[in-house]
Amino acid sequence: MIRVGVVDTTFARVNMGDIAVRELKALSGSIAVIRRTVPGVKDLPLAAKLLLTKEGCELVMALGMPGPKPIDKTCAHEASLGLIWASLMAEKPIIEVFVHEDEVSDERSLYELTVKRVKEHALNAYFMLFRPEELTRGAGKGLREGGPDAGPIGGRY
Amino acid sequence: MIRVGVVDTTFARVNMGDIAVRELKALSGSIAVIRRTVPGVKDLPLAAKLLLTKEGCELVMALGMPGPKPIDKTCAHEASLGLIWASLMAEKPIIEVFVHEDEVSDERSLYELTVKRVKEHALNAYFMLFRPEELTRGAGKGLREGGPDAGPIGGRY
Amino acid sequence: MIRVGVVDTTFARVNMGDIAVRELKALSGSIAVIRRTVPGVKDLPLAAKLLLTKEGCELVMALGMPGPKPIDKTCAHEASLGLIWASLMAEKPIIEVFVHEDEVSDERSLYELTVKRVKEHALNAYFMLFRPEELTRGAGKGLREGGPDAGPIGGRY
Amino acid sequence: MIRVGVVDTTFARVNMGDIAVRELKALSGSIAVIRRTVPGVKDLPLAAKLLLTKEGCELVMALGMPGPKPIDKTCAHEASLGLIWASLMAEKPIIEVFVHEDEVSDERSLYELTVKRVKEHALNAYFMLFRPEELTRGAGKGLREGGPDAGPIGGRY
Amino acid sequence: MIRVGVVDTTFARVNMGDIAVRELKALSGSIAVIRRTVPGVKDLPLAAKLLLTKEGCELVMALGMPGPKPIDKTCAHEASLGLIWASLMAEKPIIEVFVHEDEVSDERSLYELTVKRVKEHALNAYFMLFRPEELTRGAGKGLREGGPDAGPIGGRY
């Protein structure tokens, strides 16, 4: 069994952790998920680092849903920097999965976007751990987790 | 007894530390609070780290009230980054509790917002230390410390 | 004797270091001041860290006067982040004392603001080292070094 | 053989990794390339660091194509900071090669810009490793990888 | 002999490294200069750190000329933060000497500004290493490397 961490927040308006846990388990019977919940996105870096350094996780999915206000954007920026530091300090990957409340205009779309993005990043996590060659196969494909892909630009080297 | 740190500032216009200390003690008889006060929010990261690394605290509440000017916003941003670094270096949680002076338009509302936010984050601190499953129960509930909750978005996975 | 560091810049238009040194000595006969001067605010973090880690200082006052242009604001922001990192790495306090040239509109006011802010932060330094309970006494009082205090907001917990 | 790392993303719309790998091999028969692909630019810092600290690479090319939206710009900024931290922690160079989708206005130009910039930075990588004096020969020449060079400004010292 | 590092870029439009090397040698016969050139300003932090930690330099001058576009300003900001981290990690000074292309409006002025600023910062480097008391003599004098000094503001403490 490979231990994978999932951290989400009480701030988010969708239970992102539940989605991630179920998807990871559906993707592989070899994944043991350790889940934690923190208040907001700025609490994610430490929680993710502890899962990597103290709980034996090989990878953490850090899930958050920043609000629409300028202060929310600043918090998300600080959290993102913290997640990068945490991964560099622990030398293991943290996949940031943020859905901004103002990416879409109604709650149903927000819910659907969230489910789709979390699932597609769970697949990224699975690939990173078990089949990294699948990510290289997708290199330059213009993939967009949660949304329509931008797609690759043709041309010959 | 579990040691919990509380750091606040002389810059804030409400005695946030007093509120936190009383609330933490009301929440649990097993918490010993160590309190420090510093001049402004940029002094919080070091003070919080020292409580975690030198004073045996398991968690620190870092309390601040940034002013309304652009320079105040910049200071708050720097302080927030510092608090994240401090928690990653000490590998223990720091709960940032900031109330921006311009979140509300009059002093009474500012006072009430401050009391509510500090109390609700004290509860978060208590949950983190003693009942982490309560936080997971709140995952995706759209909680907003100090204000009306945004609430969860329905939908089925 | 407790060693206290003072670092200022040649960029500043007021000799902030002189003011800090005299004030610290006036506050306590137990303080030995070590003074350094660097070109600009971005040089302050290293100079402050060296005073803490190599020169035996227990605290450093880092004094700067950022100019009025956007690039000056960016420099001040970078310097502030550097001072926080330095204090976290050295695990000792650095009191940032910045006076922005555009806080006031004439040179006389700038001079007076600088003197007042440096002196009041020297008192903060003294309190941190010798009488930390004085800072806690000022918690939530809305203090503003160099300017009129915002004052506390009444209300009962 | 000197090991050189190449990391790119599935977010990019051009297979930047393929271009870098081929160019590095064309430049020198002494380079063994280790390639990795991650989802987005914020995943580059850790991947680059692991190549430097765990896979024996002496240098890494970190390839990304940030999108045109403000959030994409923020992500690129966070990734850039992360790449600098990673290189400082590993004490080996990481060459950031970012092509912003909005640098040009059509897909063909974007493709051509990408190929040109990746190739010219592959040459920088080669020079760093094998012929550093070539970089010094180019000092102050106003070089612009991927675009027309700005050129040097005449004048005598 | 004291080893001093000089790092510049191929991006700059003036050979800043040459100017620095000559000026340092003119200032003191006791300085041995180690020079490196990198592609752009974001490569400066690592190059500077390596000179300090692996090449025995006591100080590094990091020379760059950021372009006029917003992305150039962001790069310069990232580079500046990186230079501060590098100096804190190595515990030795890095003097950042950046000339922004848009500080002046024509190429001749840009060249002259660059020469003047590099020379005046070379003098700062010399003072830091050999005569730190000269910097303290300049404290609060409103010095501006490369431009007319702002000058000190009178007044009595």
Q: How far is A120 from chain B (nearest CA, A)?
A: 14
Tokens 């709650």 map to which residue?
A107
Pairwise CB contact (< 8 Å): A17 & B140: yes
**Does D139 contact E107 at a Cβ distance shorter than 8 Å?**
no
Q: What ipTM, to 2 d.p.?
A: 0.97
Task: Look at residue D154 in the predicted model and tell me its pLDDT.
Answer: 73
Cβ–Cβ below 8 Å for D94 and E35: no
Distance CA D73, CA D92 (A): 26
pLDDT at E155 over 80: no
**What backbone torsions phi and psi does residue D101 show, to the nearest 5 degrees?**
-55, -30
Model confidence at E151: pLDDT above 80: yes
Give the whole-angstrom CA distance, residue C126 versus residue C53: 20
Q: Does residue E54 fall inside a structural domain?
A: yes
* Nearest CB neighbour to D150, from listed E13, E38, E115: E13
Distance CA(D120)–CA(B81), nearest Å, equals 35
pLDDT, position D155 = 63
Contact C104, C113 (CB under 8 A): yes
Q: Which domain holds residue E76?
A: 2-137
pTM exceeds cut of 0.90: yes
CB contact under 8 A, B140 and A14: yes
Which residues are bridge partners to D63 per DSSP?
D97
Interface test with E, best of D61, D65, D80 (most E CBs within 10 A): D80
Contacts of D151 in chain E (CB under 8 A): 13
Chains B and C form CB pairs within 8 A to the count of 110
Determine the distance in angstroms separating the CA of E59 from the nearest CA of chain D, rounded to an integer.
Answer: 17
Residue D144 maps to a domain: no
Report CB contact under 8 Å: E139, C110: no
Nearest Cα of chain C lies from the Cα of E15 at a distance, in angstroms, of: 23
Contact list, E95 vs chain C (CB under 8 Å): 39, 43
Residue contact A157–D18, C-beta within 8 A: yes
Question: Does residue C59 fall inside a structural domain?
Answer: yes
What is the pLDDT confidence band of residue B155, given thresholds at 50, 70 and 90? low
> Length of chain A, please?
157
Q: Find chain B residues with C-beta within 8 A of C124's C-beta.
A: 39
Q: For each of chain D's 157 residues, which pLDDT tens digit applies?
A: 999 999 999 999 999 999 999 999 999 999 999 999 999 999 999 999 999 999 999 999 999 999 999 999 999 999 999 999 999 999 999 999 999 999 999 999 999 999 999 999 999 999 999 999 999 999 999 999 999 999 999 765 5
Here the CATH number for the domain that contains residue C109 is 3.40.50.960
D139–E85 CB contact, under 8 Å: no
Dump pLDDT digits (tens) for B2-60: 999 999 999 999 999 999 999 999 999 999 999 999 999 999 999 999 999 999 999 99
Provide the greatest CA pair distance for chain C. Answer: 48
Residue among D12, D144, D18, D17 nearest D72 (CA): D12
Residues of A in contact with B142 (CB under 8 A): 11-13
pLDDT tens digits along B95-123: 999 999 999 999 999 999 999 999 999 99
D116: left (phi over 0), alpha (psi -120 to 50) or beta: alpha
Which chain E residues are Cβ-neighbours of C8 within 8 angstroms? 139-140
* Nearest residue of A to residue B88, measured between CA atoms: A46
C91·B42 Cβ contact <8 A: no
Contacts of E99 (CB under 8 A, 6+ apart): E12, E14, E16, E64, E65, E110, E113, E114, E117, E146
Question: How many independent structural domains does chain B possess?
Answer: 1
Enumerate the residues of chain C whose CB falls inside 8 A of the CB of residue E135: 10, 36-39
CB contact under 8 A, C84 and B89: no
Strands (E), E31-122: 31-38, 59-64, 94-98
Q: Give residue-wise pLDDT tens across range C53-104.
A: 999 999 999 999 999 999 999 999 999 999 999 999 999 999 999 999 999 9
Distance CA B122, CA B95 (A): 9
Model pLDDT, residue C154 = 74
Average pLDDT value over all residues in chain E? 97
Tokens of B40: 């402004």
pLDDT for A157 beyond 80: no
C-alpha span between D89 and E89 (Å, rounded): 9
Q: How many CB pairs under 8 A join D and E?
A: 111
Is the CB of residue E139 less than 8 Å from the CB of residue C9?
yes
E34 assigned to some structural domain: yes
Which neighbouring-strand residues pair with C5?
A: C34, C60
With respect to residue D82, please indicate whether it lies within any of the assigned structural domains. yes
Tell me how close the Cα of B88 comes to any Cα of chain A, in angstroms: 6
